[in-house]
Amino acid sequence: MAGQDVLVWLGIVEQEIAIVLTDGQLTELAAGPEVALDAPDAETQILAFVDAHVPQKVQPVIAGSTIQRDRRVLRTALPAVDRRLHYRMVDVWTIGELVRRWYPDVVAGRPSRAAPARALEAVRESIEELRFYRQHVFSVPS
């Protein structure tokens, strides 16, 4: 079971939602089901996945690239999932905007992103992008 360090990566593409759990070092711990947002049991499936991997007393932090939009969708379509997650968020797009302004030479090497066809693909692209920033911007100088 994941501890307090877990990040819940969320991706919504079209009407599909996917979740991946990583630890704080961005190592993938588990990938949840890709679920249609309008599926009658979508909320139940997602909560069951999170509950199976994260202790009930822990409110995991949500992460992703379009996290503000995704959070709005959660609030309306899957409110119990929204309540299960912490109010804090790791927003990869915000980090990318800062890197673009402060480290423009680093941006050229950033992984390219296509418009993902599936939600799980979008989540994994976001994780890869944050790994890139961690390695090239947030690294400890030697």
**Residues 113-127 pLDDT 10s:** 777 778 999 999 999
Q: Which residues have a Cβ under 8 Å from the Cβ of 36 and sit 6 or more positions away?
A: 15, 16, 17, 42
Q: Which of 87, 108, 114, 142 is catalytic?
A: 87
- Spatial distance between the Cα atoms of 129 and 67, rounded to a whole number of angstroms: 14
Question: Count of CB atoms within 10 A of residue 78's CB?
Answer: 19
Distance of alpha carbon 137 from alpha carbon 66, whole angstroms: 21
Domains (range + CATH), the chain: 7-136 (3.30.420.10)
Residue 87 bears catalytic tag: yes
pTM exceeds 0.85, yes or no: yes
27-80: pLDDT as tens digits = 999 999 899 999 999 999 999 999 999 999 999 999 999 899 999 999 999 999
Residue 134 CB partners (closer than 8 Å, separation 6+) = 26
pLDDT of residue 3: 67
